[in-house]
Amino acid sequence: MQTLAKNENRDLYLDSSGNIAISTDLQACLEACENAVSTLLGEQIYQIDEGMPNFELIWNGTPNYKQFEIAIRNTLESVENVLEVTNFSFDVAESNTFRYNAEIKTIFGLGVVNGL
């Protein structure tokens, strides 16, 4: 598995040869998972039914965190080479920040995906 690599700011960057950096295997799978979870529902113009229902489940009306957890788990498990989500936790800070931490089992090994 390969994907364009991202740095700690989640930006593309150049490798030591001056080429766009590429991630492989476990790192590529983790980055694909991060991309999938950060895509909002309706954001993709050709696949408007795909993406995370952030506004529908968290920010509009009464938050439904458990249903959002299920949506994240389903999204992660739909990523190529992901076998299962083995552990999941989330936190909602007083500043209305939703943070999650997911341990995933892939064909390349275990990895952790986290984000806002």
- Which domains are assigned to the chain? 2-115 (3.10.450.40)
Q: Whole-model pTM?
A: 0.83
pLDDT tens by residue, 62-99: 888 888 899 999 999 999 999 999 999 998 877 778 88
- Helix 25-38 vs helix 65-77: angle between axes, to the nearest 10 degrees? 140
pLDDT surpasses 90 at 44: no
* Token pair in block for residue 50: 């795909």
- CB–CB of 111/26 below 8 Å? yes
Strand segments, DSSP code E, in the chain are: 2-4, 22-24, 82-92, 98-106, 109-115
Contacts of 80 (CB under 8 A, 6+ apart): 1, 29, 32
CA distance 99 to 87: 14
- In the prediction, which pLDDT does 64 show? 85
CA distance 15 to 98: 32
